[in-house]
């Protein structure tokens, strides 16, 4: 990546050892004033990223197939951006620039567009992260029942494990098992701070997490509904 | 109490087509397809069912707003259940997914719709897998797809998984997200019924509302309207959480006393504790106090009490938690989830967090409460969607109802931080800096 140049530097001609072409002259109106907007805070030495060419962007076959299947489900292919980014995140571990380029190439949209989407949603991550996701709900119902202590315990338990990515999350929609966490999509609760160690141990051993506390095994609370 | 949605909900295998059909499932669809579209719509109108997602708008009316004609029309089921305290749709989709699919097909038939989507929040991974399997089963059995049950009605249904954003539960934010963009709400009007998904007329309904549709068709709209109160018909799933003994989902008839839900069904507050405040309809509803427990739980009674039924999520807070703690959690949540499109919400939520932190760190005076209340007033009604209002209403109600406690909190925090007693600050005025940090207003 070319070094980012300051506004002052951009006014100077580019040094000869850079392989970028010399900057065009500053656009001016006939009366001499600068055309507004010419010095917007962007990297002036860089061309805007265009839609990557699928022929020159290697995309894993499985990922490409998955994205194309997603695009086929909607009247407008752009609707597939979230499923496609999800698939790329599965493949690459996070929405890396390379992952976004690959999705952009298959979908025929610009990387900037996909970046705008990826940065909006909490479950799409634009920085490197551990393979295992632990979302600890720290919203109101869970925090009333001690979610903040649980979150601290979870952070401590996973401190030595770069493979476990612990995040505090907004309401996960399981306040009946508060405080709770979502471990790789599996809802578990109600949790004690002591369960944090077990979650990490289960993840390392590749076992199902806290089987007796999984939400899917829980009967309805309404006694007349059973 | 009468169970409609939760009738034997824990029956093993109810998520499969075989068990659902054995219980009479898809019978309502057969019945609906024998009726004309107008007759089905009429049943929905007569039932008087109001949307279960939060706004409480009559579902039949919503369907009737769709333009007639042969254009592409869409139905979107809002399964992006993110309102703090709400978890009813999760249980419905997990345990009885075919009820939702059947409801979608019937509602689409009534509205003359041929494409439908379920927008489920990305965190509900397990529930989404169950729905995917149910949709596949329904398609194979001819309840979805081309020429459903040999009628001339066709419908496609696609499950769309979100990626974690509260704002995508707002209907126009959801539409933008479904179109593959950032989930920013749109200016209304045009309303989605006229110009929604892909600029086409779109019907958006909550999971619980659509799951009720087959039951309305089976029992008849008039029969359904007899349940509940005159303006809040039917049963409602209520998610009770927070400081209660038995948190969970309970199906109630609308109009029963709130006390009955919290004390009889959910077991009341924990031992040795008293209820301090409760949210009657998710964290976006203005709070009520222990004195309000006898208000009937229905749309109009709660509206009369200055709050709302919302999504039907009761969050109970007991006397072991300071009001400030609850307010702070709320404000931080909304500040995090504000999409940033409208200034009053983006700035208002962040400033509210800062002012609450000021109170906790001992820099505030009671005047800050007035400023905070005025910030809330300036958010309400000034944005494209109601996310900002959803913070402003409960925080405003807390300042109004718990002002003495908040003032005591301010005073205690000042003492802890050594900011000087309040009367000194007031007496000395701005000129004397030795009295500690002065509020700058």
pLDDT tens, B181-202? 999 999 999 999 999 999 999 9
Nearest Cα neighbor of B265 from B278, B252, B254 is: B252
Q: Nearest-CA distance from B171 to chain A in Å?
A: 16
Instruction: State the average pLDDT over residues A147-173.
Output: 95
Instruction: Indicate the pLDDT class of residue B429, thresholds 50, 70 and 90.
Output: very low
Q: Which residue of B has its CA nearest to A214?
A: B126
pLDDT at position A40 is 57
Name every residue whose Cβ is closer than 8 Å to that of residue B175 and which is 6 or more positions away in sequence.
B76, B186, B192, B196, B197, B202, B204
Name every residue whose Cβ is closer than 8 Å to that of residue A39 and which is 6 or more positions away in sequence.
A7, A10, A26
Q: Cβ atoms within 10 A of the Cβ of B325, count?
A: 18
Instruction: State the average pLDDT over residues B145-171.
Output: 95
Instruction: State the average pLDDT over residues A68-93.
Output: 96
How far is residue B168's CA from residue B172's CA, in Å, rounded to a whole number?
A: 8
For the cut 70, the answer to whether the pLDDT of residue B234 exceeds it is: yes
- Chain-chain contact of B85 with A175 (C-beta, under 8 angstroms): yes
Q: Is B178 on the interface with A (CB under 8 A)?
A: yes
Question: What share of chain B in percent tops pLDDT 90?
Answer: 93
Estimate the crossing angle of helix B27-34 against helix B207-219, to 10 degrees: 70
For the cut 90, the answer to whether the pLDDT of residue B386 exceeds it is: yes
Q: Is B198 on the interface with A (CB under 8 A)?
A: yes
Question: What share of chain A in percent tops pLDDT 70?
Answer: 84
Q: Which residue of A has its CA nearest to B156?
A: A73
Residue A166 Rama label (left phi>0; alpha psi -120 to 50; beta):
beta
In chain A, which among 162-201 make CB contacts under 8 A with chain B? 169-178, 182, 185-187
Quote the radius of gyration of chain B (alpha carbons, Å).
Answer: 24
- Chain-chain contact of A173 with B86 (C-beta, under 8 angstroms): yes
Are B117 and B156 within 8 A, CB to CB? no
- Chain-chain contact of A222 with B122 (C-beta, under 8 angstroms): no
Among A67, A183, A221, A223, pick the best mutation site for testing chain B contact (most B Cβ within 10 A). A221
Which of A122, A186, A221 minimises the CB distance to B246? A221
Q: Is B402 on the interface with A (CB under 8 A)?
A: no
For the cut 90, the answer to whether the pLDDT of residue A20 exceeds it is: no
| Average pLDDT taken over every residue of chain B | 94
pLDDT at position A3 is 45
Q: Is B86 on the interface with A (CB under 8 A)?
A: yes
For residue B139, the Cα-to-chain-centroid distance in whole angstroms is 30
- Chain-chain contact of B315 with A79 (C-beta, under 8 angstroms): no
Chain A residues within 8 A of B9 when measuring between CB atoms: 220, 222, 225-226
- Chain-chain contact of B123 with A216 (C-beta, under 8 angstroms): no
Instruction: Give pTM, 2 decimals.
Output: 0.89
Q: Is A85 on the interface with B (CB under 8 A)?
A: yes
Chain A residues within 8 A of B91 when measuring between CB atoms: 220
What's the burial of A161, exposed, middle or buried (CB within 10 Å: 0-12/13-18/19+)? middle
- Chain-chain contact of A216 with B247 (C-beta, under 8 angstroms): no
Instruction: State the average pLDDT over residues B157-167.
Output: 96
Interface size between A and B, measured as CB pairs under 8 A = 179
Distances (CA, A) of B49 to B43, B213, B280: 10, 9, 19
Instruction: Indicate the pLDDT class of residue B419, thresholds 50, 70 and 90.
Output: confident
- Chain-chain contact of B10 with A219 (C-beta, under 8 angstroms): yes
- Between B38 and A9, the more confident residue is B38
Q: Which residue of A has its CA nearest to B238?
A: A222
pLDDT at position B213 is 97
How far is residue A3's CA from residue B166's CA, in Å, rounded to a whole number?
A: 37
- Chain-chain contact of A121 with B326 (C-beta, under 8 angstroms): no
| Average pLDDT taken over every residue of chain A | 87
- Chain-chain contact of B6 with A220 (C-beta, under 8 angstroms): yes
pLDDT at position B441 is 55
pLDDT at position A2 is 43
Among B123, B181, B246, pick the best mutation site for testing chain A contact (most A Cβ within 10 A). B123
Handedness of CA B108, B112, B117, B121 (dihedral sign): negative
- Chain-chain contact of B198 with A75 (C-beta, under 8 angstroms): yes
For the cut 90, the answer to whether the pLDDT of residue A155 exceeds it is: yes
Instruction: State the average pLDDT over residues B266-276.
Output: 95
Q: Is A78 on the interface with B (CB under 8 A)?
A: yes
pLDDT at position B136 is 97
H helix runs in chain A, sequence order: 7-11, 61-72, 81-92, 97-107, 111-118, 140-144, 147-157, 195-205
Which of B180, B247, B336 minimises the CB distance to A175? B247
pLDDT at position A19 is 55
Distances (CA, A) of B161 to A94, B14, B53, B128, B251: 18, 23, 18, 7, 27
For the cut 60, the answer to whether the pLDDT of residue B379 exceeds it is: yes
For the cut 80, the answer to whether the pLDDT of residue A34 exceeds it is: no
Give ipTM to 2 decimals: 0.91
- Chain-chain contact of B198 with A83 (C-beta, under 8 angstroms): no
Chain B residues within 8 A of A81 when measuring between CB atoms: 180-181
For the cut 60, the answer to whether the pLDDT of residue A151 exceeds it is: yes
- Between A25 and B272, the more confident residue is B272
Instruction: State the average pLDDT over residues B356-360.
Output: 95
Q: Nearest-CA distance from A50 to chain B in Å?
A: 18
How far is residue A56's CA from residue A87's CA, in Å, rounded to a whole number?
A: 20
Q: Is B123 on the interface with A (CB under 8 A)?
A: yes
φ and ψ at B104, to 5 degrees? -65, -45
In chain A, which among 99-138 make CB contacts under 8 A with chain B? 116-117, 120-124, 135, 138
- Chain-chain contact of A170 with B330 (C-beta, under 8 angstroms): no
Quote the radius of gyration of chain A (alpha carbons, Å).
Answer: 24
Q: Is A16 on the interface with B (CB under 8 A)?
A: no
pLDDT digits (tens, 9 = 90+) for B390-404: 999 999 999 999 999
């Amino acid at each position: 990546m070319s070094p980012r140049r300051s506004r002052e530097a951009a006014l100077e001609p580019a040094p000869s050892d850079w392989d970028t072409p010399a900057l065009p002259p500053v656009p001016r109106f006939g009366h001499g004033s600068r055309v507004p907007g010419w010095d917007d805070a962007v990297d002036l030495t860089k061309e805007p990223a265009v839609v990557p060419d699928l022929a020159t962007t290697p995309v894993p076959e499985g990922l490409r197939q998955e994205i194309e299947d997603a695009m086929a489900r909607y009247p407008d292919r752009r609707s597939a951006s979230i499923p496609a980014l999800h698939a790329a995140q599965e493949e690459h571990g996070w929405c890396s620039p390379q992952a976004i380029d690959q999705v952009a190439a298959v979908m025929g949209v610009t990387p900037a567009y996909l970046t705008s989407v990826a940065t909006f949603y909490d479950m799409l991550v634009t920085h490197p992260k551990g393979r295992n996701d632990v979302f600890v709900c720290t919203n109101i119902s869970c925090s009333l029942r001690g979610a903040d202590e649980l979150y601290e315990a979870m952070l401590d338990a996973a401190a030595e494990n770069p493979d476990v990515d612990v995040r505090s999350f907004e309401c996960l929609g399981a306040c009946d098992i508060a405080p709770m966490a979502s471990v790789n999509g599996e809802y578990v609760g109600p949790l004690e701070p002591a369960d944090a160690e077990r979650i990490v141990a289960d993840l390392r051993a590749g076992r199902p997490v806290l089987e007796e506390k999984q939400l899917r095994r829980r009967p309805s609370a309404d006694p007349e509904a059973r | 109490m009468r169970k409609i949605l939760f009738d034997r909900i824990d029956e093993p295998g109810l998520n499969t087509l075989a068990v659902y059909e054995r219980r009479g499932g898809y019978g309502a669809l057969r019945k609906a397809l024998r009726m004309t579209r107008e007759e089905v719509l009429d049943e929905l109108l007569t039932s008087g069912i109001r949307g279960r997602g939060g706004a409480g708008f009559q579902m039949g009316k919503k369907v009737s707003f769709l333009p007639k004609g042969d254009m592409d029309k869409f139905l979107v089921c809002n399964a992006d259940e993110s309102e703090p305290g709400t978890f009813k749709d999760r249980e419905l989709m997990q345990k009885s997914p075919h009820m939702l699919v059947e409801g979608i097909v019937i509602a689409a038939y009534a509205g003359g719709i041929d494409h439908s989507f379920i927008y489920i929040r990305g965190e509900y991974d397990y529930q989404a897998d169950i729905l995917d399997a149910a949709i596949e089963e329904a398609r194979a059995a001819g309840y979805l797809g081309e020429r459903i049950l040999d009628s001339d009605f066709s419908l496609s249904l696609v499950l769309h998984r979100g990626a974690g954003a509260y704002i995508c539960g707002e209907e126009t934010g959801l539409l933008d997200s479904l179109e593959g963009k950032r989930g920013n709400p749109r200016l209304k009007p045009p309303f989605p019924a006229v110009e929604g998904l892909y600029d086409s007329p779109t019907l958006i309904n909550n999971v619980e509302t659509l799951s009720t549709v087959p039951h309305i068709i089976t029992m008849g709209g008039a029969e359904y309207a007899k349940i509940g109160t005159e303006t809040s018909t039917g049963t409602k799933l209520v998610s009770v959480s927070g400081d209660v003994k038995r948190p969970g989902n309970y199906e109630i008839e609308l109009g029963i006393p709130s006390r009955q839900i919290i004390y009889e069904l959910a077991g009341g507050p924990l031992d040795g504790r008293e209820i301090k405040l409760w949210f009657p309809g998710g964290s976006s509803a203005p709070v009520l106090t222990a004195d309000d427990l006898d208000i009937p739980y229905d749309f109009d009674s709660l509206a009369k009490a200055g709050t709302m039924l919302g999504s039907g999520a009761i969050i109970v807070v007991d006397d072991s938690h300071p009001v400030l703690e609850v307010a702070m959690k709320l404000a931080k949540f909304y500040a995090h989830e504000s999409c940033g499109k409208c200034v009053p919400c983006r700035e208002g939520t962040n400033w509210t967090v800062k002012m609450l932190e000021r109170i906790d760190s001992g820099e505030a005076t009671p005047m800050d409460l007035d400023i905070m209340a005025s910030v809330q007033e300036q958010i309400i009604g000034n944005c494209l969607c109601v996310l900002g209002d959803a913070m402003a209403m409960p925080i405003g109600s807390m300042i109004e109802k718990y002002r003495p406690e908040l003032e005591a909190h301010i005073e205690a925090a000042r003492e802890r931080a050594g900011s000087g007693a309040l009367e000194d600050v007031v007496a000395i005025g701005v000129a004397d800096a030795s009295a500690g940090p002065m509020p700058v207003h």
